[in-house]
Chain A
Amino acid sequence: MTLLAFARGPAMQVATLVLIVGMFWRLSGILLLRRRVAHAAARNPFAVRLLGGAVTIVTRTIPRRTFWPRVGAGVALSYVFHIGLFIVLFGGAPHILVIYELFGVSWPDLPKGVVVVASGITLAALILLLVRRVTHPVLKMLSTPDDYISWVIVFLPVATGILLSGETIAGYGTLLALHILSIEALMIWLPFGKLMHVTLVFAGRFMLGHNFSRKGAAT
């Protein structure tokens, strides 16, 4: 079996299984805990509370203006990375093809040059985020092995993707195999570390928004 066949076959199956079971295990371990009923009379009816939760998912995307001077730069850098990754993931022709094969949906791809530039910016933002993490006193103190493992796990697919697009240091098959394997590593790690925020961010914001809407407080 070639490395590419391994990556596309058993490795992908294992990674998918771990991703699904791991995410299910973690989410159910959180959400199935015994819920304490809030008896206090709510200021807002149930529908408004639900809306409050939904709105908070959107509004927490950007900090309130009063916080901008202190957190604006860090947030902006984080968004450069996230938006860059989004462009590469959903604008690159090979990725759209994979999505089409898996789910049967498709959309026009972006020009390769745009995707390459977005990849470069994403990679640069990732490196700057790491530099910030190891130099900023607060981030340095808060950081755990999870932060650094997660960084490597995200860095590898971006880096191998860039190498793959130029077929630079090895042949297409080898680079593609490494790229797929790096994505599989991400899939395996995702349920266990901070990358799980791809789901928790929605649950957390919703719950906060719902709870604070109950109080009629700002979300």
Chain B
Amino acid sequence: MTDVVKAMRGFIADIGPNVALSLESCVHCGQCAEACQFYVQTGDPRYTPIHKVELFKQTYHREMGPFSFAYKFFGFAPALTAETLTNWQDLVYDSCNMCGRCSLICPMGIDIADLVEQTRHGMYEAGLAPADFLGAIAEKEHGTGSPFGLTSEKFRDLLHEIGTAHNVVMHVDEPAAEIVPTVSSIDVKTYPGSMAAIAKILNHIGLSWSFRTDGFDADNVSLTAGDRAGQSAITESIVKAAISCGAKILVMPECGHSFTEMRWEAANAYGKDLPFRVLQITELVAENIESGKIRVNKAPHAATYHDACQLSRRGGATEAPRIILHALGVDLHELEDAGDANWCCGGGGGVALIKRAQPLRDAAFAIKKKQIEATATPIVYTSCSGCRQTLDHGGKAASWTTTVGSLMELVADNLAS
């Protein structure tokens, strides 16, 4: 049953000046709608990004805004009800990738994607995270540390299996390691080649490195579901594991939201600066290509690249994949709006894990499909397994001939001996 009080507390628990300013500033210009794939593709005004956080906004105005007394007394902002919360569920989850394209257009400087993340905190507390599969997976992750309930023992076995299958030396639970890579559960389930590729690259760099079975799955579905406690628990276990072996660099896998969490939020959960750097794998590779520690053979072929929103627009790592592609001699045909104004694949923000959201996801994917096809290249690379999976599924449904490739697999296949 929907818990209205918990939702209210969830909404207002973390409001500081940034969020309050955002909630106070909207002038109802509607520009954010025109940046959102779900509105652009459906024309349904309900999908206007700022409208998705309306309940959060109303709760703020009623409970803690500067004029909350007037909002309450005159009823300017209605109190939350189980019905309104339920009515907003699909807006907060199904139709938002938290891609932040709306934040890029807002003339008032409102970070709407951040507000959606905050809104999900309240919705999750109220028991309104979509049960299939987002909520269920987040719950499993919270309980076991892995979205699919992968135990440390099973993960250790899996790493050795992947090492054998891909002929790569896997370092696992070394007592000391300068670099600690993490994994995405999507790679574990679907794209183990990406994990093997990262291992090959780390072996090539030559510094000590090791997977840790006591903190490995960086996916953090809890973040997208809105489970703050789960989000922190996952983060803390990874931080603890990295510290225990004296890591200097924590490497995030080919995954978008995990980077957002570990790069920008983990230190807040830890309460102080992390004692190591957090780099997404493309950043690590780009850095090492530039310093000469990674040497790659040229692999000239035409390709395009899909930016994961959390890595580029929301994460500031837009250049790294381009440095890599350039070093490989790839003839890069950029997508329209490539880089910071890139369109989401449609699956981000946990939308890929909501079964009923498939029509919306497909509608969003149609933009990406059109853009990729316009480049007339046979392959699209990405460095996010979530994006890769969405592009794979969308392409399959559309009987695509375009291949979707992992950037790290491309690098690993072309390491100079």
Task: Write the residues of chain A forming the contact surface with B, with a CB cutoff of 8 angstroms.
Answer: 25-26, 28-41, 43, 56, 60-61, 63-64, 66-67, 70-71, 74-75, 78, 136-144, 147, 192, 194, 196-197, 200-201, 203-209, 211-212, 215-218
Contacts and interface: CB of A to CB of B under 8 A. Distances in A.
A215 B107 contact: no
Given A78-B29, A203-B21, A67 B109 contact: no
B400 interface: no
A43 B337 CA distance: 24
A82 B214 CA distance: 58
Contacts of B313: 217-218
Interface residues of B, number: 64
A167 to B, nearest CB: 34
A35 B48 contact: no
B109 A207 contact: yes
Contacts of B316: 43, 212, 215-217
Contact of B107 (A29, A34, A63): A63
A217 B260 CA distance: 12
B20 A64 contact: no
B267 to A, nearest CB: 4
Contacts of B104: 64, 218
Contact of B266 (A40, A74, A144): A40
Contacts of A25: 66-67
B66 A70 contact: no
Contacts, number: 171
Interface stretch (B9-17, B200-208, B284-292, B355-363): B9-17
A142 B108 contact: no
Q: Give the top 5 A-B pairs by smallest Cβ distance, nearest first.
A: A29-B66, A216-B316, A39-B267, A218-B340, A204-B109
A60 B106 CA distance: 8
B35, B50, B265, B277: most-surrounded residue (chain A CB, <10 A): B35
Contacts of A63: 31, 105, 107
16 contacts: A29-B67, A30-B21, A31-B21, A33-B20, A36-B268, A138-B45, A139-B29, A141-B45, A196-B24, A200-B24, A204-B110, A207-B18, A208-B106, A211-B18, A211-B111, A212-B316
Contacts of A43: 316
A40 B264 contact: yes
Given A70-B34, A78-B29, A144-B28, A39 B50 contact: no
Given A142-B26, A142-B50, 12 more contacts: A30-B17, A61-B107, A64-B104, A67-B31, A74-B30, A197-B108, A203-B21, A205-B108, A207-B17, A208-B106, A215-B314, A217-B316
Contacts of B51: 141-142
Contact of A39 (B29, B103, B107, B270): B270
Contacts of A70: 34-35, 40
